[in-house]
A and B are shown apart, each in its own frame.
Chain A
Amino acid sequence: MARSVTPRRKLINTTIAWAIGLLIFFPILWTILTSFKTEAQAIAAPPIFLGFEWTLENYRVVLERSDYARFLWNSIIIAGLSTLIGVAIAVPAAWSMAFVPSKRTKDILLWMLSTKMLPAVGVLYPIYLIFIELGLLDSRAGLVVVLMLINLPIIVWMLYTYFKEIPGEILEAARMDGATLPQELLYVLTPMAIPGIASTMLLNFILAWNEAFWTLNLTAVNAAPLTAFIASYSSPEGLFFAKLSAASTMAIAPILILGWFSQKQLVRGLTFGAVK
């Protein structure tokens, strides 16, 4: 029996949810507000929340100094391709683990996750040397491969969780109807797991978009994405917080917009199982 929620209780819950939401979002809101201040207003104490003269000067300076479009394009290509290739590899992997498990499936899953436990800096030199040998330094292709590989365990784990909820009988029925393995994956499994695959892709796109260790260390000019764009405005000697905030806002804006439009899909994929 469903529990009834009183209007008072609902109001309290809603208020708490909004308060937590605002608290989490506040640093981003503050960054956005700071980007419209002058450098002097950005460091004012006590801080000025809204009562300042809004200016677009920081955006003008940032756009004049940096080739924003190039950084943005690199971010789109690197995050997009690494996600697509990762999902293409992870779907069959997760299928086999979910529907044809072996004695070692659990161990393999844990082993895959354990690769995320090694600090990235621990393998910086080997990866860097491999990139030099293969001529991949400062290339989008190199970063696509690296980001795909570092996010692959998460993709496989998420898809495995979704696939586990799909009854194996449905796939069996497809096989009895004469579906080949690729057809089974493409026409039966994938459509049923669309919410899960979509939310996995979105989450991994965000992870790849925000990745700042490899993208800073393996790029210089040609493949530098928006993380390098932000890093170029951080200064230990000089107060450039307003410009840094403008650069940060420009870097997160595309992903914020994407998240805003796809939030329904994301929440659905993260909270519901595949067949609910």
Chain B
Amino acid sequence: MSLKSTLRAATALTLITAGSAFADAHSATITIATVNNGDMIRMQGYTDTFTEQTGIAVEWVTLEENVLRQRVTTDITTNGGQFDIMTIGMYETPIWGANDWLVPLNDLSAEYDVDDILPAMRNGLSHDGTLYAAPFYGESSMVMYRTDLMEAAGLEMPTAPTWQFIREAAAAMDDPANEVNGICLRGKAGWGEGGAFITVTGNSFGARWFDEEWNAQFDQPEWADALNFYVNLMNDYGPEGYATNGFNENLSLFNQGKCGMWIDATVAASFVTGADSTVADSVGFALAPNAEGVEKRANWLWAWALAIPAGTQQEAEAKQFIEWATSKDYIELVAANEGWANVPPGARASLYETPEYLEVPFAQMTLDSINAADPTDPTVDPVPYVGIQFVAIPEFAGMATEVSQEFSAAYAGQQTVEEALAKAQAITNEVMEAAGYR
């Protein structure tokens, strides 16, 4: 090849490269970090619709929940700028918002109708009255039970059962000969797994993590009552190895007809009544229980929400996406293509005013459960923190994971309830002291 033709080829290549770079610079692409669950995956399938409407391309980074937490925390605290939108929960949002790590969502368009977001969700995703993340879907927890087994046992599930009734029903439905456990509950270590469940159970027995001076309260009788009740209930009527069961393990057991009752996230309702469930036609729902005489119920509040990290170069485009993905129009788009049972639940009040959606068997109970949860007043006695199944302080995740490990050891019979509570008390006080709360 002559020098002349080499130069020509090089010039052409440079022009083509420069041209494509120019084109790239004018077609925005946003990167979204998200979790792998049914609603999020469904949203990814509709991304093309958003791109067609706005010309904004979307790149997805889907990760397992704990990996995502670590990944986005690293990125946001170092101002790494890898993501334009992050999927985060109710625990992170107020803490990150307080640190100015998130872009406030206080200028959403009028058509978006921010007032339509359920108050519980708005409060949980705000800091000092400013919304920092828009809920994509929200959930509480409730009782899911087998209506056929309940009927055979001659019992009727009240809309708002007590723990005492739950124990009675578990005893009546427990049928080891047919591999049916009276009740399935989370016992797996982890602040978001068994830790979340035992915290709300504690709330429903009148327990709390801290008093108003941030002193740990695991040495109080309410915690002993809650933990002893849980361990006895599960030892008597729960599945073998429940200390390592989390959401998925219990979902698997329930779908195979091996649980009379399961108390867990409202989002599970669509799974247990879905195509993969062998008991889909005989599932009923009730509010999460409380101990007799205690006003607080064992239901939590959680949302997976979309937030914009401060420092993104694509703030306007990211806001456009959030408005689209958490809008009423998106819900209608999913309903039109996949049916009302598959729309993201628990975020917008208008969804629960839609007659078609109210025909979905678990719709009303989900709303009632969400409305029954108040993160600003989670316990019987006053507390200095916000959050129902968590305490919205940065130290909580590590501390609660340790505490839940001690509880799981008690479930597995490796130590007594009293020993687990004593260790929880020591761990919690030590962390709070080191962090300067007390």
Contact = CB atoms under 8 A, between A and B. Distances in A.
Interface in B44-100: 44, 59, 61-67, 70-71, 74-75, 78-83
B256 A44 contact: yes
Interface in A196-243: 216-217, 220-221, 224, 228, 231-240
Contact of A238 (B67, B82, B271): B271
Contacts of A57: none
A45 B265 CA distance: 23
A7 B89 CA distance: 64
A124 interface: yes
Given A39-B276, A124-B74, A233 B36 contact: yes
Contacts of B67: 216, 231, 234
Contact of B64 (A124, A137, A234): A234
Given A43-B255, A132-B78, A238-B37, A232 B276 contact: no
B74 A220 contact: no
Interface string A235-263: 11111100000000000000000000000
A125 B252 contact: no
Contacts of A238: 36-38, 248, 251, 271
B267 to A, nearest CB: 7
Contacts of B238: none
A144 B251 CA distance: 41
Given A45-B258, A231-B63, A239-B248, A220 B82 contact: yes
B256 A235 contact: no
Contacts of B276: 38-40, 239
Interface string B122-152: 0000000000000000000000000000000
A211 to B, nearest CB: 14
Contact of A236 (B31, B78, B248): B248
B70 A217 contact: yes
A40 B252 CA distance: 9
A9 interface: no
Contact of A237 (B61, B78, B80, B247): B247
B389 to A, nearest CB: 14
A39 B253 CA distance: 13
A221 B80 contact: no
B258 A138 contact: no
A214 to B, nearest CB: 12
Interface string A155-184: 000000000000000000000000000000
A16 B399 CA distance: 46
Main secondary structure on chain A at its contact with chain B? Answer: loop
A48 interface: no
Contact of A224 (B61, B81, B258): B61
Contacts of A228: 61, 63
Given A125-B74, A132-B78, A216-B71, A237 B256 contact: no
A234 B36 contact: yes
A228 B67 CA distance: 10
B183 to A, nearest CB: 18
Nearest to A222: B59
Interface in A11-46: 38-40, 43-45
A128 B267 contact: no
Contacts of A233: 36
B247 to A, nearest CB: 5
B33 interface: yes
B35 interface: yes
B64 A235 contact: yes
Contact of A65 (B37, B44, B74): B44
A239 B251 contact: yes
A132 B61 contact: no
Contacts of B33: 220
Contacts of B64: 231, 234-236
Interface string B238-282: 000000001110011101101000000101100100001010000
Contacts of A224: 61
Contacts of A221: 31, 59, 61
A231 B34 CA distance: 12
A129 interface: yes
Interface string B179-193: 000000000000011
B41 interface: yes
Interface in B293-335: none
Contacts of B59: 220-221
Contact of A216 (B38, B63, B247): B63
A188 B424 CA distance: 64
B38 to A, nearest CB: 5
Interface string B24-46: 00000001010111100100100
Contacts of A129: 78
A189 B344 CA distance: 64
A240 B256 contact: no
Given A231-B67, A239-B271, A132 B79 contact: yes
A138 B247 CA distance: 32
B267 A237 contact: yes
Given A231-B67, A236-B246, A239-B276, A217 B74 contact: yes
Given A39-B276, A43-B252, A239-B248, 15 more contacts: A40-B255, A40-B278, A43-B255, A45-B256, A45-B258, A128-B74, A129-B78, A216-B67, A217-B71, A221-B31, A231-B64, A234-B64, A237-B37, A237-B248, A239-B252
Which 5 pairs of residues, A with B, have the shortest CB-CB distance? A232-B62, A234-B64, A235-B36, A43-B252, A221-B59
26 contacts: A44-B256, A45-B256, A45-B258, A125-B74, A128-B74, A129-B78, A131-B80, A132-B80, A137-B80, A137-B82, A220-B33, A220-B61, A231-B63, A231-B64, A235-B35, A235-B37, A235-B64, A235-B65, A235-B248, A236-B65, A236-B66, A236-B193, A236-B246, A237-B265, A237-B267, A239-B255
